[in-house]
Structure 1
């Protein structure tokens, strides 16, 4: 197992029949919509892993995510405040989502993002797009 690497990000997990819980890690600058996207995914049945800071570590060939104890089960809803959320403990990461401003490329080349020495497939999005939730769901379904 690698050392735990805290990163400024949000992570949420989805149950996939036959595959178990699988998580995405959402990265981007402050205000890019990480928590907003997570709240919309949670509204679709996903579970919070961690908001604002995520502990990421490698074990075997996989990457794993968990929340720092001080913020476990809490997510910030901008304009509302800190909210309690149903959360998962340690979950395997399968996808990185990078939020940025402006429209991403229409047909991007495959990319990866490395955490704790392991690469994850990378999806670049505008987190505030109405279709962002569906794009995340489509991307994780391919994995």
Structure 2
């Protein structure tokens, strides 16, 4: 552990992040893949914005905390509307990474993980523009949280 309040490592990723019932979800994908659009649909379903376009992730002991860079805190880019202001959260624990792809596998392997700053984080792949993408994201997070509770 270092002297900077327990933060061992930090990075900023090109991604969007929301909190669903207090659990952080990081949405990754190519530019134009639907990260902000999926975040907007999740926010409409009750999620809270953490950050859009860039997410700062800091490792604190055995967890990863997500926050917006100060210059874009509370800003969400909506195609055809521009930059919109909205409420946001900071310092939210990362629980799920969603990788956006045009054609995700129909039956992916269970227990997919991604290693970020030395910590394994559960992940799944979704097609952002599917009508059910927001619901699938919520269900994926729910399954992960059930596994954590059952451990």
Tell me the TM-score normalized by structure 1.
0.92
Corresponding residue for 2:10? Answer: 4
The answer as to whether partners of 1:22 and 1:93 remain within 8 angstroms in 2 is: yes
Corresponding residue for 1:28? Answer: 29
Q: Quick one: distance in 1 between partners of 2:50 and 2:113? A: 21
1:136 deviates by 0.5
Structure 2, unaligned runs of 5 or more: 1-6, 146-151
Choose 1 or 2 for highest CA Rg.
2
Segments of 4+ in structure 1 off by > 6 A? Answer: none
1:82 aligns with 2:83: yes
The answer as to whether partners of 1:66 and 1:90 remain within 8 angstroms in 2 is: yes
Structure showing greater relative contact order (alpha-carbon pairs closer than 8 Å, 6 or more residues apart): 1
Q: Quick one: distance in 1 between partners of 2:72 and 2:116? A: 21
Larger helix share, 1 or 2:
2
1:24 deviates by 0.3
Q: Deviations over 1:74-126 (max 9, x none)?
A: 00001110001111111000000000112x12221031112211111111011
Corresponding residue for 2:42? Answer: 41
